[in-house]
């Protein structure tokens, strides 16, 4: 699939109800990270939301907020599923793979057996974009050229995704301040967008007038990594025209 995994879980679920709509499924962040599974909670959240919508319609309500959905999910099977694993990712991030995963397992067992954990509910710390370091503080990784057997270039993988966007539609990847993108994302951070994007959407291209930022929006597989990871939060992913994007017919 193409989507970046939402790892926040129990302590990071946003407000789910608002006048005119509700968030369900992956957009609500209902992924159980240790199980790498969220489809069960996506279905349950849809059912839970539908129950509250049906009750509101029966009461003759309209054009207001279905706040009961927001208030009920933590006491539902979704909340039970996410609360047990709420500290796994924070412990992993804080103590590394070996110690963090071991402590996460201990936390899950204590929560499951006794409904209590010595860790309480841990915070996640910094958001992903704030974890990006300037280029002068890191050692760039030099990867071998793809061999076409075990490793492949990005555009070959984009081809397999059957991604399609109408060529004449507005670009759905919005850069708020192009000057900031060059002064900071490129000159300070070394242009990480051309590395973290799995589809080769972003490129810093050398030209006669110097380096310029090129966005190949037609390649986008809608993972939203750019929206999440840009160090200045200067890129915003918006819904493309006509529902274009990856079409995983054989997955």
Read off the pLDDT of residues 5-40 as tens digits, 9 standing for 90 and up.
888 899 999 999 998 899 998 889 999 999 989 999
Contact 122, 93 (CB under 8 A): no
What is the tens place of the pLDDT at every residue in 124-140? 888 889 999 999 999 98
In the chain, domain spans: 9-114, 131-243
Fold of 131-243: Alpha-Beta Plaits (3.30.70)
Q: How far is CA 209 from CA 40, 185, 212, in A?
A: 52, 18, 8
Q: Is the pTM of this model over 0.75?
A: yes
Q: How many residues does the chain have?
A: 251
131-243 shares the fold of 9-114: no
Fold of 9-114: FAD/NAD(P)-binding domain (3.50.50)
> What gap in Å lies between CA 203 and CA 180, rounded to an integer?
16
């Amino acid at each position: 699939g193409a989507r970046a995994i939402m790892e926040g879980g129990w302590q990071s679920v946003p407000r789910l109800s608002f006048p005119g709509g509700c968030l369900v499924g992956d957009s609500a962040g209902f992924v159980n990270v240790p199980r790498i599974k969220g489809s069960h909670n996506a279905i349950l959240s849809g059912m839970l939301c539908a129950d509250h919508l049906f009750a509101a319609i029966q009461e003759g309500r309209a054009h207001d907020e279905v706040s009961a959905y927001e208030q009920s999910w933590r006491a539902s099977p979704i909340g039970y599923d996410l609360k047990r694993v709420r500290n796994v990712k924070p412990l992993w991030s804080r103590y590394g793979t070996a110690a963090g995963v071991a402590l996460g397992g201990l936390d899950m067992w204590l929560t499951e057996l006794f409904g209590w954990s010595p860790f309480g509910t841990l915070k996640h710390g910094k958001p992903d974009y704030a974890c990006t370091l300037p280029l002068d503080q890191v050692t760039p990784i030099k990867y071998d050229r793809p061999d076409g057997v075990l490793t492949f270039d990005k555009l070959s993988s984009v081809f397999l995704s059957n991604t399609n966007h109408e060529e004449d539609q507005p670009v759905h990847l919005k850069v708020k301040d192009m000057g900031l993108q060059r002064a900071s994302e490129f000159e300070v951070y070394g242009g990480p967008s051309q590395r973290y994007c799995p589809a080769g959407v972003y490129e810093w291209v050398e030209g006669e007038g110097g380096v310029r930022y090129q966005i190949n929006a037609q390649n986008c597989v809608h993972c939203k990594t750019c929206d999440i990871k840009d160090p200045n939060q200067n890129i915003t992913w918006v819904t493309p025209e006509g529902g274009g994007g990856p079409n995983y017919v054989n997955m």
